[in-house]
Amino acid sequence: MHQPSLSPSPETAATAQDLEVEVHVWIGTECRAIYKIPPGVYLVGSDPSCHLRIDAELVERMHARLSFFGHRLFIEDLESHGGVFIGGIPLNLPTPVQTGTEIHIGAARLLIHFAEEVRSQIAADLEDPSLGLATIRHELAQEPHQVTGTLGEGGMGLVLRARDHRVHRSVAMKVLRSGNEFSADKLLRFVSEAQLTGQLEHPNIVPVYQLGVASDGQVFYTMKHVRGETLESVLQKLRTSDVETARQYPLSALLTIFQKVADAIAFAHSRGVIHRDLKPANIMLGTFGEVLVMDWGLAKRLAETPTLPSDSSPTAPEISLPTEGRFNTLHGAVVGTPPFLSPEQADGLATLDLRSDIFVLGVILYEILCLKPPVHLHNTEQVIEAIRTGKLFSLAERIRTPGEHGEPPPPLIHCPNGKLPEGLAAVVQKAMQHAPANRYQSVEDLQKDIVACQNGFAPAAEEANWFRQLQLLLGRRRREAVLVGCFLVLSQLLLTYFLGRIAADRKMLRTSESALGESNLELKSANQRLEQIVYQLRNTADSNYKDALTQLRQRKPSQALAQINLALVGVADSPRTQARYLVARGHANTQLGFYSEALDDYRQAAHLFPGCIPFDEIETDLSRALDDGFRPPEGWGWEKIDVPIPGKPKQPPKLPAATPAPAATPSPRPLKPTP
């Protein structure tokens, strides 16, 4: 071992001060070197150029940096692979080091020692009157707490309300009851409670601020002063059907509180700690939504060896039932508070595990649901015996069973529709199974089932069938279910309406078909009669035509028109025959002065039998007649044309040359007399 005295690096030389710090380098059980360093910056590593050279395993060339300035020593990791550790925790930033601190660098340990004259010099410098710190130091040197009242009491200690003068806040101070401070066992349990609670840093576990000894020798610890009420107080108000409490704490809000309590217990279990005294009276509800699990005085680490009770410890003392209907916490073989005990606690078993807390969580959830514990609270022995043997009321029984004094069970005004939720009842039943192996095996499993119930699903403990699953699905999708129901009803109404319309239409169709059948019969009969008439007309068509020609020669155009119309009705399909009849009707219309109708007849005839008549000449003459009404007294020459009979062609007779008409102006048509 050597004792070199180092100077700071020239780049970071400190102001001249007669201060030195000793750095002891240990490798295994041997102190290899002691460095005395004045203020400055020093490199630590295995490289020969380092100020503090350490030749040990896992120590890198440039491993760490020591900085000594302003009465403070800092250690900094230079991003080494091995790291720098204090108390087993790796350092990420420059960290101040106090005297006696042990620093691990690779396989080496550094112990820091400030000499007495250094500490004295630092204290003298800090108490320099010119700094103006005397008033503040005097205030901080006074008694830190002032008791201002009592918040509560338990079997072993008191919880006081106190004022913390140093940080100016109200705190809860727990102290031992008078006389208990002289018991080593109770004092050790008290200190263990403070230390264990302080180590359980969780938002739902009451935080511990300070553990200490007051000026009068009283051991105390302070914790957060929670302003609010206990869960027990809330449940008591619900038992009395307090409407305002039911509005503020419906079942959904109570389940949220329960989940936060379960979060705290799950965290404690992850740290190997069981509570052993869970109950609504130990759950504080803050004014601003805080939920804190209190009183960890009976908490126990699972790795601890169980402490056997002394002969004088009561196993199940006879305790009168308090006015609020609850027992005090028991100590000894039976640890906890009836009825919030697991069967293992009721049996006085020392080897408890986390499933004991899970059972009690089930009891708390039981009371949240039906506002009553699962057993009548007559006396401690009966309660413990009922828990030990598993003779507890089911939830369905409890909501119908009268109370201890025959009073009716309280109405479930905090539950939806005043009814017990089936899913949560199954969760309680599984959590409170008598055999630990049949319960939930972790708080997380219990919480998952409660979350399933809160979200409208069936918990695993319920083992719901398909009908129950469908019922829950409709409950989760209530709006969609209503819309689907309305759609189905509307669809049914529309279907009924359209089916009725179809039936009515079918009936009308059958009626129409019947009428149509009758009409078809009548039409058939009429067609038969018409066919007979047409047949007769066809047989008489040629004679009617000949009669029409005779009437034309006799200048009887009206009779001729009637006869030729009959002939046209019965005419055959021969175009020549139709053309001949049309020419005859054109002659009749011409004689009657119906020049437009006559022109149509001639046009049809010329179309059916081209060349049978001089249509151009006829059209010219009739057009003139239509314009001025002129017609030769003896008629036009083409009026004597007759269409030959088919199969018997004959030349039309030669017409004499037309004599030019005198130049006399035709006489105008007579005017109608004016009335």
Cα distance between residue 387 and residue 367, in whole Å? 15
CA distance 72 to 291: 41
- Is 277 assigned a catalytic role? yes
Contact 168, 182 (CB under 8 A): no
Q: Report the residue count for the chain.
A: 675
Q: Which long-range contacts (CB under 8 A, 24 or more apart) does 636-642 make?
A: 636/590, 638/613, 638/614, 639/587, 639/590, 639/591, 641/583, 641/613, 641/614, 642/549, 642/580, 642/583, 642/584
Query: Phi then psi for 184, rounded to 5 degrees?
Result: -60, -40
Distance CA 583, CA 545 (A): 11
Q: Is 515 helix (H, G, I), strand (E, B) or coil?
A: helix
The type of residue at 66 is L
What are the DSSP calls for 318-373, one per residue? --PPPTTS-PPPB-SSS-BBTTB--HHHHTT-S---HHHHHHHHHHHHHHHHHSS-
**b/e 617-655 (16+ beta carbons within 10 angstroms → b):** ebeebbeebeeeeebeeeebebbebbbeeeeeeeeeeee
For 225, phi then psi, to 5°, come to -90, 105
Write down the catalytic residue from 77, 277, 357, 621.
277
258: left (phi over 0), alpha (psi -120 to 50) or beta: alpha
* Sequence letter at residue 48: P
Greatest pairwise CA separation for the chain in angstroms: 171
Q: How far apart are CA 223 and CA 204, in angstroms?
A: 13
Q: Which two tokens stand for residue 199?
A: 């180590």
- Please identify which residue in the block is written with the tokens 């009157």: 129
Cis peptide upstream of residue 10 (ω within 30 degrees of 0): no
Identify which of 144, 288, 307 has the alpha carbon closest to the alpha carbon of residue 213: 144
**How distant, in Å, are the alpha carbons of 10, 274, 275, 601 from that of 271?**
50, 9, 12, 120
- Kindly report the CA angle at 655 between 651 and 660, in degrees rounded to 5? 155
Sheet hosting strand 228-230, strand order edge to edge: 228-230, 283-286, 291-293
Active site residues: 277
